[in-house]
Amino acid sequence: MVEFLIDQALREAIDLHNRNQLDDAKSLYNKIIEHDKENSDAYHLLSLINLVEGKLDEAKQNIVKAIDLQPDIAVYHSNYGNILYHSNNHEFAIQEHKRAIKLDKKNFQSFYGLGVIYSHLKNYQFAEDNYKKALSLDDNSSVAHNNLANLYNHVNPNKAEKHYLKVLELVPDDPMPYINISNYYLKNTKYKKCVETLEDALTKKLKTKELLNNLGIAYLATKENEKSKAMFLEALEIDPNYKPAADNLENLKNIV
């Protein structure tokens, strides 16, 4: 395979990868490596598929090979840090992310990755600092806003709401941000805001059992018992075995 064809094959493999045709992409990456054992991009991208497959040892072998071939590419170190994090090797994961940042001071992925690791380690100040640095590079990252909101909900609830609201702005058609902010509102007894937010979700036809259950709890807290009952029942229509809604419905029967 000549160099031109290797480049073409790599583009095709990346296209397959982006379309989530992972088996085909993996096969093509391996063919590229057979013909060009120093193709660092193929090793790197193959490691990402290994990670998705949960094959962490293979992922580490391939990303290390990529780094051996091209040690000054920041994204390789970022993804190695992510692989190490998923391998519960937190100390070395932090080191790899810091190497990536040293190579590229605008490396969003590694600032975000450090935020995830430090949150996991309950080092909340370092986690906050790194999430904020990540957001200074990409303020439209819904995952970074969501993680920072979750962190603040744990350590400083007054700062959490604006980040949850930003996530709603960025991904308005996904029910999960509505569930997250409603959990925050319920935890902090902001029941009217919870009702308003979840009713807005229903107007967008965003219905999940968790969302309906949370709205039922908020209705109950605002003394709207019939609406509360209706939400719990609707949640159970989606999943008859959903215990939180069943328990809440039983508790409601004991109240009225």
Query: Sorting pLDDT into bands at 50, 70 and 90, what band is 158?
Result: very high
Q: Which CATH class is domain 172-256?
A: mainly alpha
pLDDT on residue 152: 98
Query: Sorting pLDDT into bands at 50, 70 and 90, what band is 3?
Result: low
Instruction: Read off the amino acid at residue 76.
Output: Y
Helices (H), the chain: 3-18, 22-35, 40-53, 56-69, 74-86, 90-103, 108-120, 124-137, 142-155, 161-170, 175-187, 191-203, 209-221, 225-238, 243-255
Distance CA 221, CA 234 (A): 18
Is the pLDDT reported for residue 211 higher than 60?
A: yes
- The pLDDT tens digits of the residues spanning 163-207 come to 999 999 999 999 999 999 999 999 999 999 999 999 999 999 999
Query: CB of 54 within 8 A of CB of 22?
Result: no
Is the pLDDT reported for residue 6 higher than 90?
A: no
pLDDT on residue 227: 97
Give the 3-state secondary structure of residue 159.
Answer: helix
- The pLDDT tens digits of the residues spanning 222-249 come to 999 999 999 999 999 999 999 999 999 9
Query: CB of 60 within 8 A of CB of 83?
Result: yes
For residues 131-136, give the mean pLDDT: 99
- The pLDDT tens digits of the residues spanning 63-118 come to 999 999 999 999 999 999 999 999 999 999 999 999 999 999 999 999 999 999 99
pLDDT on residue 81: 98
> pTM of this prediction?
0.89
Please report the DSSP string for 177-245 in residue order.
HHHHHHHHHHHTT-HHHHHHHHHHHHHTT---HHHHHHHHHHHHHTT-HHHHHHHHHHHHHH-TT-HHH
pLDDT on residue 2: 47
What are the structural domain ranges in the chain? 172-256
